[in-house]
Amino acid sequence: VHAVALVVLLLAAAPVPAGAVAAVTVRLSAESVVRAGEILLEDVATIEGDEPLARRLRQVRLGPAPPPGVTQRLDPEYLRLRLREPGLDPTKVRVVGPDEMRVTRAFQVLTGSAVVDAAAREARERLSALDPRGGPWAVVALGTPPDLRIPTGTVELAVRLQEPTTPVTFFAAMVAARVDGREYRAVPVALRVGRYESVVVAVRGLEPGAELAAADFRLEARSSAAVPRGALVSLAAAARVELTRP
């Protein structure tokens, strides 16, 4: 996990005059995990005391959260400014806590295979609409994008397909990852389109010069886009071949 070390000096909002009692105590946490895109004071502290003032302090914005899975530092001077925003009396606020704080953004992993599956599913639906009698279609990604860290929440994948070539042999797709209805990242996916064909594949490793029989092979459905030229299509033909190289 990539992380940036964070050291935050504790700061007092302002000295509380002698004999005065702070209306609210802000207790900063040494380790905090935030889930939203913006850090609020309530995300990194426990705030107790006069409830109307405490309620306002909980909603004080401290700045943008780090990217998902990253730990970063808060700016002490900026925090001091936020506690002195209009309407907040710093003499009524007492800040206590550890000498160091770490704030980390929560995350979940969106796998590259999930992105490819979404794009391929949308492509197959488009192909079925273009040619209802043409299936079954074989849609294969030219590559799998890396896994992606995204914010926590409900994930929806929205696929946008470019107009296909004619005849249809290729799709370019853009898969947008939305979290709680908000788009976070869009990932490109390239898809090769073909039809399923039955081809002969070996059921075990074969050695050059070995005597081969029909039992050494089976038929499998493979995408025509991935079948090499000259591939065998019948078990009878496979039984008559001789393996000269692995």
pLDDT tens digits, one per residue of 60-105: 888 899 999 999 988 756 676 777 776 777 788 888 878 788 899 9
Give me the mean pLDDT over the 120-131 stretch: 88
Q: What pLDDT, on the 0 to 100 scale, is given for residue 7?
A: 35
Tally of helices (H runs) and strands (E runs) in the chain: 5, 15
The predicted structure's pLDDT at residue 152: 96
User: Average of pLDDT values for 110-136?
Assistant: 88
Polymer length in residues for the chain: 246
Tell me the mean pLDDT in the region 206-217: 71
DSSP E strand boundaries for 116-210: 137-141, 148-150, 155-161, 170-179, 182-202
- How far apart, in whole angstroms, are the C-alpha atoms of residue 60 and residue 114? 37
% of residues, the chain, pLDDT over 90: 41
DSSP-assigned letter for residue 158: E
What pLDDT does residue 244 have? 60
pLDDT at position 40, please?
A: 93
The predicted structure's pLDDT at residue 16: 47
The Cα–Cα gap between 80 and 101 comes to 15
The CA distance from 4 to 54, in Å, is: 31
Residues 20-31: b if buried by 16+ CB within 10 A, e if exposed: eebbbebebeee
